[in-house]
Amino acid sequence: MSGKPTVFIDGEAGTTGLQIRARLEGRDDLTLVSIAPDRRKDPEERRRLLNEVDVAVLCLPDAAAIESVSLIRNPAVKVLDASTAHRTAPDWVYGFPELLPAQRAAVAAASRVSNPGCYPTGFTALVRPLVDTGLIAADAALTVNAVSGFSGGGRQMVEDYEAASPVGREAAYPYGDYALTLEHKHLPEMAVYGGLDQSPLFVPAVGHFKCGMLVHVPLTASLLKPGTTAADVHAVLAARYAGEGFVGVAPQDGGDLLRDGKFLDPRALNGTNRIELFVFGHQSRGQILLAARLDNLGKGASGAAVQNLNLMLGLPETAGLETPLPLTDTIMT
Ligand SMILES: NC(=O)C1=CN([C@@H]2O[C@H](COP(=O)(O)OP(=O)(O)OC[C@H]3O[C@@H](n4cnc5c(N)ncnc54)[C@H](OP(=O)(O)O)[C@@H]3O)[C@@H](O)[C@H]2O)C=CC1
Ligand SMILES: CC(=O)N[C@@H](CCC(=O)OP(=O)(O)O)C(=O)O
- Predicted pLDDT of residue 332: 54
Helix segments in 33-186, DSSP class H: 43-50, 62-71, 103-109, 118-132, 154-163, 166-172
Whether residue 207 contacts residue 149, with contact meaning beta carbons closer than 8 Å, is answered with yes
C-alpha of residue 154 to centroid of ligand 1, in Å: 6
Q: Is 27 in the pocket of ligand 1 (CB under 6 A)?
A: no
Sequence ranges of the chain with CATH classification 3.40.50.720: 6-115+298-326
Cβ 59 under 6 angstroms from ligand 1? yes
Mutate to test the pocket of ligand 2, among 148, 159, 184, 187 (most ligand atoms within 8 A of CB): 148
Three-state secondary structure call for residue 216: strand
Please give the model's pTM, rounded to 2 decimal places. Answer: 0.96
Choose, from 118, 268, 288, 331, the residue flagged as catalytic: 118
Helical pair 118-132 and 230-240, crossing angle rounded to 10 deg: 110
Residue nearest to atom 31 of ligand 1 (CA): 41
Let me know the angle formed at the C-alpha of 200 by 156 and 174, rounded to the nearest 5 degrees.
35
- CB of 264 sitting under 6 A from ligand 1: no
Distance 311 CA to ligand 2 centre (A): 24
Domain 118-294 has CATH 3.30.360.10: yes
Q: Does domain 6-115+298-326 have CATH number 3.40.50.720?
A: yes
Q: Which residues of 117-131 are buried (b: 16+ CB within 10 A; e: fewer)?
A: bbbbbbbbbbbbbbb
Stretch(es) of the chain classified as CATH 3.30.360.10: 118-294
- Residue 149: φ, ψ to 5°: -65, 160
The helix or strand, by DSSP H or E, that contains position 211, with its residue range, turns out to be: none
CA dist 163 → 158, 173, 212, 213 (Å): 8, 11, 20, 22
**Environment class of residue 43 by beta-carbon count within 10 Å: exposed (0-12), middle (13-18) or buried (19+)?**
middle
Ligand 2 centre distance from Cα of residue 68 (Å): 20
Atom of ligand 2 nearest to the CA of 206: 1
- Which ligand is nearest the CA of 149, by number? 2
- Amino acid 172: pLDDT: 87
Residue 84, ligand 1, Cβ within 6 A: yes
Active site residue 59: no
Q: Determine the Cα–Cα distance for residues 299 and 215; give it in Å rounded to an integer.
A: 13
Local confidence pLDDT in tens for the 333 residues of the chain: 558 999 999 999 998 999 999 999 989 999 999 999 999 999 999 999 999 999 999 999 999 999 999 999 999 999 999 999 999 999 999 999 999 999 999 999 999 999 999 999 999 999 999 999 999 999 999 999 999 999 999 999 999 998 987 778 888 888 999 999 999 999 999 999 999 999 999 999 999 899 999 999 999 999 999 999 999 999 999 999 999 999 999 999 999 999 999 999 999 999 999 999 999 999 999 999 999 999 999 999 999 999 999 999 999 999 999 999 887 655 555
In this predicted structure, what is the pLDDT of residue 1? 56
| C-beta separation of 317 from 304 below 8 A | no
| Residue from 60, 68, 159 to probe ligand 1 pocket by mutation (most atoms less than 8 Å from CB) | 60
Ligand 1 contacts CB of residue 14 (under 6 A): yes
Return the amino acid letter for 226: P
Q: Which residues of 188-208 are buried (b: 16+ CB within 10 A; e: fewer)?
A: ebbbebbbbeebbebbbebbb
Question: Which residues have any ligand 2 atom within 6 Å of their CB?
Answer: 84, 117-118, 148, 152-153, 185-186, 204, 206, 301
